[in-house]
Structure 1
Amino acid sequence: MQPPADDAGEGAAGARRLRVLSANIQAGSSTRRYSDYVTRSWSHALPAGRKRSSLDAIAKLASGHDIVGLQESDPGSLRSGFTNQTHYLAQRAGFHYWTHQPNRSVGGVASSANGLLSKLEPVRTSDHSLPGRIKGRGVLLAHFGDDREGLTVAVAHLSLGARSRLAQLSFIAEVLQDHPNAVLMGDFNCLPDQPEMEVLYRRTTLRPPECPVPTFPSWKPQRAIDHILVSGELRCMGSKAVPAAYSDHLALAMEIEVPESALRT
């Protein structure tokens, strides 16, 4: 059953305003300076540290949004104390609907997943593995509305290498090209004007962000590598970066206006 309409804000006539959030949560680990990647590397393999308090802070942030896309959410390995972090955040933040896509596992010690939390009931969800030189990347999709004009939300975490990103963006473009009302969010590991991003803009109606927001590194944000891209009749009503607890990325929050027709079931 779909939650009541007042769960999301009022938009223009015939539109509904949704609050969306994209967050690379670094599995709840803490990184506040570049040296922490070395001195705190143990936190990426062991359950010690402030992961639970970090998740609680992320849940508080997520609760103010209608749809949340997560990257680097541990699906339940040693470093998270075998906690499915997406499920934990859904429960703590009051989301009735959640799904996740485990992508990479390092010997059961550390695992990583894309995740999606929603206060709106999706009609269906799906996921795809992404191509790349090193396997372990994917895109997670949730579909709202029951026809081609419905809203499609995709969450992805792209590779560090430009060649792999190009292959991944080409794949995502193929998946989304028949969905005129789409939102693609995640950690792209590149600026929105990088050459490989052009494949999205050419093959879909996704648009570059009007004002890219720096999100990395979280302690001194200089690079806009986390994005929420919208297409079709969707309108961006403003975006901002906000701390995602102790992650090395800031989260990206955005309000979008969605035609009511894209959410009807």
Structure 2
Amino acid sequence: MQRIHATAMPHYTQPRPHSIEGLHQVAERAVGTVQRESLSLLSFNIQVGIKTQAYHHYLTRGWQHLLPHRQRNQTLDQIGRLLRQYDLVALQEADGGSIRSGFINQVEYLADAGRFPYWYQQLNRNLGKLAQHSNGVLSRLEPSFVEDHPLPGLIPGRGAILVRFGSGENALLIIVLHLSLGARTQDRQLRYIRELVEHHPHVVLMGDMNNPLEHLRSRPALRGLDLISAEETLPTYPSWQPKHALDHILISPSLEVRSARVLDCTLSDHRPIAMEIGLPPCLQHL
């Protein structure tokens, strides 16, 4: 299957479906359908490959959000090696190829470094040559459907990716998202997400949600979905001394949390969060 280049996504409120046509496949790494009882998941806000290891680095290294840095790809290589042990990875704050990244699509770069056969980039804020703010998905399983969803907000630039494995009731629906900072906007975004997932029995929400878990669970938009997570609080921010649980993986009760942890990793200002989920028999042939 020839690699297909994704196109820039305009800012509008309706979803833009790409189906399988928007997915990138590295043909020589394609894998067949196998029976599996579990999936290993990881969500990571990579901060466009900037190592922020102290608060003062936001000032002293802030220029790297605008200009290229010779060590950025070394950081991406380290991240890529970290990702190799996971089946599906959700990326936030990746660059799709601009001046600051040396015109490298960081989602594609990490797919190659992590040896993933399938990858997908969602362009959320297109600043031309200056920045290509993106989310991304890396997968070892071939999705049956991929869809872009710009999230509502006063300022465009936040998005969710819907990835489906399988079909019908025996499908696994994964939503990769990066929520805004403001509570009112988050409520609108979570209501939008609820409309995508509330009628699906097997759902995973994963990403940078910019909110502690107890606050998310109290939001009306998530009530009644009965989403579960790790039993303990898993702080991910700031990476050098994590105190705040901002990154989460939430799953339907039909799925099982087998393990969950935050990785001891300071390659970004967030630490990655990992979870192994058990699959019911109906999902073991994805």
Q: What TM-score do the two structures reach when normalised by structure 2?
A: 0.85
Change (3 A) 1:197 1:116: farther
Q: How many residues align?
A: 257
Say if 2:217 and 2:223, in contact at 8 Å, map to a contact too.
no
Aligned match of 2:174: 153
Find out whether 1:98 has 2:119 as its counterpart.
Answer: yes
Distance 1:129 1:196 in 2: 22
- Listed as ranges, the gaps of 5+ residues in structure 2 are 1-29
Deviation digits for residues 155-191 of structure 1 (CA, Å, limit 9, x no counterpart): 1011111111111111101111121101110000110
Deviation digits for residues 114-167 of structure 1 (CA, Å, limit 9, x no counterpart): 100010111111110101122100100110111133111111011111111111
- The alignment partner of 1:193 has SS state of helix
Distance 2:132 2:185 in 1: 21
Aligned match of 1:204: 225
How big is the shift at 1:5?
2.9
- The alignment partner of 1:171 has SS state of helix
Find out whether 1:78 has 2:107 as its counterpart.
Answer: no
- The alignment partner of 1:166 has SS state of helix
Identity score, percent = 42
- The alignment partner of 2:279 has SS state of strand
Distance 1:203 1:104 in 2: 32
- The alignment partner of 2:168 has SS state of coil
Change (3 A) 1:195 1:188: closer
Following superposition of structure 1 onto structure 2, how do residues 155-234 of structure 1 map, counting pairs within 5 Å? Answer: 155-194=176-215, 197-234=218-255
How big is the shift at 1:107?
4.7
Distance 1:69 1:244 in 2: 16
Aligned match of 1:88: 109
Distance 1:24 1:153 in 2: 17
1:258 is aligned, of 272, 275, 279, to 279
- The alignment partner of 2:68 has SS state of coil
Distance 1:41 1:54 in 2: 16
Aligned match of 1:118: 139
2:73 is aligned, of 28, 47, 52, to 52
How big is the shift at 1:232?
3.3
Say if 2:230 and 2:260, in contact at 8 Å, map to a contact too.
no
Aligned match of 1:66: 87
- Listed as ranges, the gaps of 5+ residues in structure 1 are 9-15
Q: What TM-score do the two structures reach when normalised by structure 1?
A: 0.91
Deviation digits for residues 235-254 of structure 1 (CA, Å, limit 9, x no counterpart): 01111111455200000011
Q: Cα RMSD over matched residues?
A: 1.8
1:30 is aligned, of 25, 41, 51, to 51
Q: Higher mean Cα deviation, 145-154 or 200-209?
A: 200-209
How big is the shift at 1:208?
4.8
Distance 1:218 1:182 in 2: 28
Distance 2:251 2:281 in 1: 16
How big is the shift at 1:58?
0.7
Change (3 A) 1:30 1:113: same
Change (3 A) 1:214 1:152: same
Change (3 A) 1:91 1:260: farther
Distance 1:180 1:110 in 2: 37
Which amino acid in structure 2 is aligned with residue 42 of structure 1? W
How big is the shift at 1:104?
1.3
